[in-house]
Chains A and B, each alone.
Chain A
């Protein structure tokens, strides 16, 4: 595919821009991308991710709440764990802690989409700790016993119900 700007070179970079909610996409060659202030390697420089590059800052500015827009009187939202604000995260291109991803979920979403595309996580979930595993196992066991208890009572099998109730007490203690 040829570069949509100069029409001469092979396009190596796909660039998308969101202005006022309208998305435009362009395929660019390395030269044109560089001339537009984008990384020539086609990747995102760390500072560029959240708005240091000229075009990226335009995109970023088009997203509400991405930066404080009301001057000094505006009180910035801060992460409760690390104290980072969205403008500090944008400047570094990196979050201050894991909680930042939850605190600034909507503000970070467009940048994350721009890096990774519109995809959701697929893969392993973290291994649970020993204690968490035991707790989970106990919870599942209790749930299934309670279900059995309800069934026994419905069937008026009170002997069985008493047995299950004793089992529940044993596990729950």
Chain B
């Protein structure tokens, strides 16, 4: 099952947790210096080490399928669009996704639903083990894991949480939060590209510092900040609702009406309305917007992924689609997935 369709810890605020480890192999050039033959050798040898994983050769994949993997946040956008030999080894059941020949020879990524960073870290370490025993991993006692880009030296680890922060966004708290986090060696990024955060209120919080801090410390530092943010976001949501329950319920109900009755809807409009519906679905006890019980956080997050252009195109059979075609298809998909009042 895909990560977004599962239930998880504190999903009202945290969509997913992930840990990524970058690993280079001694004796192999990196980046543009890696020849196609050497890249294929790494991909093939990884397959011998990674039993139980499915291999997908991205250089042979059609661009829409490749882009869909990036929209599901399973691979980076760079990995999805590059032309050189590279492979993804994936285990959907475990939530492990290993990119071979991304920027580094190996990028080992573990994704878990909801708030569970330690779990994601344990899984990433487990997924790393067969690589570390099959290859001479490049390591230095002073610099740690040796990566293509010096900014990742050290643990070469990125621990991150994808957070849904509509209340803090609307209160205008994100810039100051971002400043506070940067003092702690953490960063905030919009999940759907530059400037998108104001629309869909989804952010990725991750560690920036990798040298001079251990893996465990990185996880606990991130979690300390995330605990605080979860607390603030929840308080801020309740505060907004209790101040004017009618307006809050009205906004959510209207958004739900649009998602379940529109006949054409753009990705941007969908994301705007998505925010209020997800907010209502996570505040059921304190806000009555008349949204059916069947509309869960899991079904909403699944629709968030399914409404992205490449995934939507694939779901429609993979043939060529104009933006208008997609807007029509998106609306019908939403009526099916979220509608109680559907006539479709």
B88 located at the interface, meaning its Cβ lies under 8 Å from any Cβ of chain A in the complex: no
Task: Give the segment of A32-40, A112-120, A143-151, A155-163 that binds chain B.
Answer: A112-120
Please encode chain B, from 140 to 173, with 1 for each CB lying within 8 Å of some chain A CB and 0 for all others: 1111111011110111000000000000000000
Q: Which of B25, B142, B149 contacts A121 (CB 8 A)?
A: B142
B225 at interface by CB-CB < 8 Å: no
Chain B minimum-CB-distance residue to A84: B33
Give the chain B neighbours of A123 by CB distance below 8 A: 144, 154-155, 213-215
Produce 1/0 per residue, B112-152, CB < 8 A to A. Answer: 00000000000000001100111001111111111011110
Kindly state the separation between the CA atoms of A125 and B145 in the bound complex, as whole angstroms: 9
Contact call A115/B151, Cβ cutoff below 8 A: yes
CB distance from A31 to the nearest CB of B (A): 16
A108 to B150, CA, bound (A): 9
B236 interface residue per 8 A CB criterion: no
The docked-state distance in angstroms from the alpha carbon of A125 to that of B148 is 18
Kindly state the separation between the CA atoms of A65 and B139 in the bound complex, as whole angstroms: 25
A116–B214 CB distance below 8 A: no
Q: Does A101 contact B (CB under 8 A)?
A: yes
What's the Cα separation between A30 and B149 when bound, in Å? 25
Which of A44, A83, A97, A126 interacts with B28 by CB under 8 Å?
A97
B33, A97: Cβ atoms closer than 8 Å: yes
- Whether A124 is near chain B, meaning CB under 8 Å from some CB there, is yes
Docked complex Cα distance between A122 and B25 (Å): 20
Q: How many residues of A contact B (CB 8 A)?
A: 37
Given contacts A121-B142, A122-B212, A129-B133, contact A49 B150 (CB under 8 A): yes
B212 contacts which of A82, A84, A95, A121 (Cβ < 8 Å)?
A121
Look across to chain B and name the residue whose beta carbon is closest to the beta carbon of A102: B140
With a cutoff of 8 Å between Cβ atoms, the chain B residues found around residue A117 in the complex are 211-212
Between A94, A108, A112, A123, the greatest number of chain B beta carbons within 10 A of the residue's beta carbon is seen for A123
Q: At the interface, yes or no: B257 with Cβ under 8 Å from chain A?
A: no
Q: Is A130 an interface residue (CB 8 A)?
A: yes
Listed residue (A97, A108, A129) with the most chain B CB atoms within 10 angstroms of its CB: A97
The answer on a CB contact under 8 Å between A96 and B134 is no
Q: Which residues of A contact B10 (CB under 8 A)?
A: none
How many Å from the CB of A34 to the closest CB on chain B? 17
Taking the nearest CB of chain B, how far is it from the CB of A20, in angstroms?
A: 24
A98-B25, A126-B137 are known; give 12 further A-B pairs, CB within 8 A. A81-B27, A95-B148, A97-B27, A98-B24, A98-B30, A98-B146, A108-B150, A116-B212, A121-B140, A121-B141, A121-B211, A122-B213
9 closest cross-chain pairs (CB), A and B: A119-B212, A98-B138, A121-B144, A116-B211, A82-B29, A98-B146, A127-B132, A129-B133, A123-B214
Binding site for B on A (CB under 8 A): 12, 42, 44, 46, 49, 81-84, 92-99, 101-102, 108, 111-112, 115-117, 119-130
